[in-house]
Structure 1
Amino acid sequence: MRIGIDARELSGRATGVGRYLAGLLREWTNGERARSHEFVLYAPEPVGITLDAHRFATRIIPGTSGTWWEQMRLPSVAAADHLDVFFAPAYTAPLRLDVPTVVTIHDLSYVAHPEWFRLREGARRRWLTRATAARARAIVTVSEFSKREIVERLGVSEAKVRVVPQGIDAPAGLAEARGDRERAEAGSADLSAVARSAEAEGAKAGDADPRLLYVGSIFNRRRVPDLIRAVAALARRRSGISLDLVGDNRTFPPQDIDRAIANHGMTGRVRWHRYATEEALRDLYARARAFAFLSEYEGLGMTPLEALAVGIPPVVLDTPAARESLEHAAMYVPINGDVPAVALALETALFDERARARVLGAAPAALAKYEWPHAARETLAVLERA
Structure 2
Amino acid sequence: MIIGIDANEANQKNRVGIGQFAFNVVKNLEKIDGKNSYIVYLKEPPLSDLPKEREGWKYKIFGPGKLWTQIALPVKLFTQKEKIQLFYSPSHYAPRLSPFPTVISIMDLWHHRHPEQFDKKDLYQLIRWEKYSVEKAKKIITISEFSKSEIIKFYGVKAEKISVAYPGFDSFELNEKEDMVKKVKERFGIKKDYLLYLGTLQPKKNIEGIIQGFAQAKNTKDKLLIIAGKKGWHYERIFELVKKLKIEDKVIFPGFISEEEKPFLIAGASVFVFPSFYEGFGIPVLEAMSLKVPVVTSSEASLPEVGGKAAIYCNPYSIEEIAFAFDKALGLNKTKRNEIIALGLEQTKKFSWENCALTILKTFENI
Answer yes or no: same fold by TM over 0.5: yes
Q: Tell whether the 8 Å contact from 2:229 to 2:254 is kept in structure 1 after alignment.
A: yes
Worse overlay, 224-233 or 348-357: 348-357
Query: Could you tell me how far apart the structure 1 residues matched to 2:160 and 2:317 are?
Result: 34
Which residue of structure 1 lines up, in the alignment, with residue 355 of structure 2? Answer: 374
Query: Could you tell me how far apart the structure 1 residues matched to 2:302 and 2:202 are?
Result: 17
Does residue 116 (structure 1) correspond to residue 117 (structure 2)? The answer is: yes
Does residue 314 (structure 1) correspond to residue 295 (structure 2)? The answer is: yes
Which residue of structure 2 lines up, in the alignment, with residue 223 of structure 1? Answer: 206
Corresponding residue pairs, total: 353
Worse overlay, 280-289 or 48-57: 48-57
Shift of 1:108: 1.0
Does residue 262 (structure 1) correspond to residue 263 (structure 2)? The answer is: no
Question: 1:270 and 1:356, CA in 2 relative to 1: closer, same or farther beyond 3 A?
Answer: same
Which residue of structure 2 lines up, in the alignment, with residue 13 of structure 1? Answer: 14
Does residue 210 (structure 1) correspond to residue 193 (structure 2)? The answer is: yes
Which residue of structure 2 lines up, in the alignment, with residue 344 of structure 1? Answer: 324
Query: Could you tell me how far apart the structure 2 residues matched to 1:311 and 1:333 are?
Result: 20
Shift of 1:364: 4.2
Structure with bigger helix share is 1
AA partner of residue 374 (structure 1): N
Query: Could you tell me how far apart the structure 1 residues matched to 2:206 and 2:200 are?
Result: 11
Question: 1:11 and 1:88, CA in 2 relative to 1: closer, same or farther beyond 3 A?
Answer: same
Query: Could you tell me how far apart the structure 1 residues matched to 2:241 and 2:211 are?
Result: 7
Q: Residues 96-107 of structure 1: matches in 2 within 5 Å?
A: 96-107=97-108
* Partner SS, residue 8 of structure 1: coil
Question: 1:52 and 1:256, CA in 2 relative to 1: closer, same or farther beyond 3 A?
Answer: same
* Partner SS, residue 341 of structure 1: helix
Report Cα offsets for 1:209-255 as digits up to 9, x if no partner.
2121112212211111221222234489621x112222222234x53
Report Cα offsets for 1:90-147 as digits up to 9, x if no partner.
1121121221111111111111222222233223222222211111011111111111
Gaps of 5+ in 1: 182-207
Shift of 1:268: 4.8
Q: Tell whether the 8 Å contact from 2:174 to 2:264 is kept in structure 1 after alignment.
A: no
Q: Tell whether the 8 Å contact from 1:209 to 1:242 is kept in structure 2 after alignment.
A: yes
* Partner SS, residue 69 of structure 1: coil
Question: 1:72 and 1:12, CA in 2 relative to 1: closer, same or farther beyond 3 A?
Answer: farther
Query: Could you tell me how far apart the structure 1 residues matched to 2:157 and 2:330 are?
Result: 44
Q: Over the residues paired in the alignment, what is the CA RMSD in angstroms?
A: 2.7
Query: Could you tell me how far apart the structure 1 residues matched to 2:349 and 2:117 are?
Result: 33
Shift of 1:161: 0.5
Q: Sequence identity of aligned pairs in percent?
A: 25
AA partner of residue 257 (structure 1): I
* Partner SS, residue 71 of structure 1: coil
Q: Residues 98-177 of structure 1: matches in 2 within 5 Å?
A: 98-173=99-174, 177=177
Which residue of structure 1 lines up, in the alignment, with residue 185 of structure 2? Answer: none
Query: Could you tell me how far apart the structure 1 residues matched to 2:196 and 2:257 are?
Result: 13
Q: Tell whether the 8 Å contact from 1:105 to 1:139 is kept in structure 2 after alignment.
A: yes
- Decide which of 312, 328, 340 is 1:331's aligned counterpart: 312
Query: Could you tell me how far apart the structure 1 residues matched to 2:341 and 2:64 are?
Result: 46
Does residue 22 (structure 1) correspond to residue 3 (structure 2)? The answer is: no
Gaps of 5+ in 2: 182-190
Shift of 1:160: 0.5
Scaled by the length of structure 2, the TM-score of the pair is 0.87
Query: Could you tell me how far apart the structure 2 residues matched to 1:35 and 1:167 are?
Result: 21
- Decide which of 245, 251, 255 is 2:227's aligned counterpart: 245
AA partner of residue 302 (structure 2): A
AA partner of residue 324 (structure 1): E
Worse overlay, 124-133 or 243-252: 243-252
Question: 1:73 and 1:154, CA in 2 relative to 1: closer, same or farther beyond 3 A?
Answer: same
Scaled by the length of structure 1, the TM-score of the pair is 0.83
Shift of 1:29: 3.0
Which residue of structure 1 lines up, in the alignment, with residue 95 of structure 2? Answer: 94
Q: Tell whether the 8 Å contact from 1:333 to 1:341 is kept in structure 2 after alignment.
A: yes
Q: Tell whether the 8 Å contact from 1:232 to 1:265 is kept in structure 2 after alignment.
A: no
AA partner of residue 44 (structure 1): K
Which residue of structure 2 lines up, in the alignment, with residue 186 of structure 1? Answer: none
* Partner SS, residue 70 of structure 1: coil
AA partner of residue 8 (structure 2): R
Query: Could you tell me how far apart the structure 1 residues matched to 2:276 and 2:293 are?
Result: 18
